[in-house]
A = this chain, B = another copy of it.
Amino acid sequence: MQRNIRLILEYDGTDFKGWQVQPDQRTVQGELEACLHRLFGTPIRTIAAGRTDTGVHALGQVANFITVNPLNVEHIQNALNSMLPADSAVRHAHEVPLRFHARRDARRREYVYRIEYGRRAIGRQYALCIRSRLDLEAMQDAAARLLGHHDFTSFCVAASERENLECHLFESTWQQSEDGVHFRIAANRFLRTMVRSIVGTLIQVGRGGRSADDVTKILEARDRRCAGPSAPPHGLFLKRVTYEDLPGG
């Protein structure tokens, strides 16, 4: 009998070429599918909620796969954790209805971008370290301009012409953290490099190089040459994905 298994995955993106399987590259999907193949003795294809780019981390990536193996989910989780490399881990494993599809059924994806002030040694892999403080109020004003339903062409790198570039932003908020600031962004979907393009642009606002009104104009221009540079990947985390019927990770 076919079963559908949903995994919640954590990974340190530092040494991965992103999520998606690529020939001769170390990817999270590649490592996971190699372990599943060993565990079940047959090739298994996984589907993930979001294809994170090279260097991007995940605290709550969601993936699912179909198997006919009756092994219970706790054993699947423990077996995978004993086989996976140290920079990836299965946080939870659940059996879900056969119709569940980790990418198609995701309703809300939440990312966090971490910025720390000053030179750091501890956790430098997990935050963008910048020397001077940012104008949080200006960044917060600019971030709020992105809320709601918009065409995000200006914040998307390398989209195809015909692609639907509309997204609905549920959250776009900066918060003071212990030693810096964190950006929390949630949407129904994200385009390629969208979060990092937004963060890069909002950092320009925080440094006084652009205004919140500029961000509104960039959005309306629908021209990717208008946005700021992409912020580096190592500050970015896929935090949580939520589904209509299922609790988030």
List the interface of chain A (C-beta within 8 A of B). Answer: 10-12, 57, 59, 81, 86-91, 118-124, 126, 237
Q: Measured between C-beta atoms, what is the minimum distance from A153 to chain B in Å?
A: 32
The answer for the CA separation of A81 and B87 in the assembled complex, in Å, is 28
A121: contacting residue among B10, B118, B119, B124, CB under 8 A: B10
A–B Cβ pairs within 8 angstroms, 24 of them: A10-B120, A10-B121, A11-B121, A11-B122, A12-B121, A12-B122, A12-B124, A57-B122, A59-B122, A86-B121, A86-B124, A87-B121, A87-B124, A88-B121, A89-B119, A89-B120, A89-B121, A90-B119, A91-B118, A91-B119, A122-B126, A122-B237, A123-B123, A123-B126
The answer for the CA separation of A118 and B78 in the assembled complex, in Å, is 10
Q: How often does this chain occur in the complex, in copies?
A: 2
The answer for the CA separation of A121 and B61 in the assembled complex, in Å, is 12
Residues of B within 8 A of A81 (CB): 119
Residues of B within 8 A of A12 (CB): 121-122, 124
- For A88, A90, A120, A126, the residue with the greatest tally of chain B CB atoms inside 10 Å of its CB is A120
Residues of B within 8 A of A237 (CB): 122
The answer for the CA separation of A17 and B123 in the assembled complex, in Å, is 19
* Nearest-neighbor residue (CB-CB) of A81 within chain B: B119
* Nearest-neighbor residue (CB-CB) of A92 within chain B: B118
* Nearest-neighbor residue (CB-CB) of A237 within chain B: B122
Give the 7 A-B CB pairs with smallest separation, nearest first: A89-B119, A89-B121, A81-B119, A10-B121, A12-B121, A11-B121, A88-B121
Residues of B within 8 A of A91 (CB): 118-119
Residues of B within 8 A of A126 (CB): 122-123
Q: Measured between C-beta atoms, what is the minimum distance from A103 to chain B in Å?
A: 21
Q: Measured between C-beta atoms, what is the minimum distance from A91 to chain B in Å?
A: 7
Residues of B within 8 A of A120 (CB): 10, 89
Please determine whether B122 and A10 come into contact, CB atoms closer than 8 angstroms: yes
Q: Measured between C-beta atoms, what is the minimum distance from A109 to chain B in Å?
A: 18
Residues of B within 8 A of A90 (CB): 119
The answer for the CA separation of A123 and B124 in the assembled complex, in Å, is 11
The answer for the CA separation of A12 and B81 in the assembled complex, in Å, is 25
Q: Measured between C-beta atoms, what is the minimum distance from A115 to chain B in Å?
A: 16
Q: Measured between C-beta atoms, what is the minimum distance from A52 to chain B in Å?
A: 13
The answer for the CA separation of A118 and B126 in the assembled complex, in Å, is 20
* Nearest-neighbor residue (CB-CB) of A59 within chain B: B122
The answer for the CA separation of A119 and B118 in the assembled complex, in Å, is 30
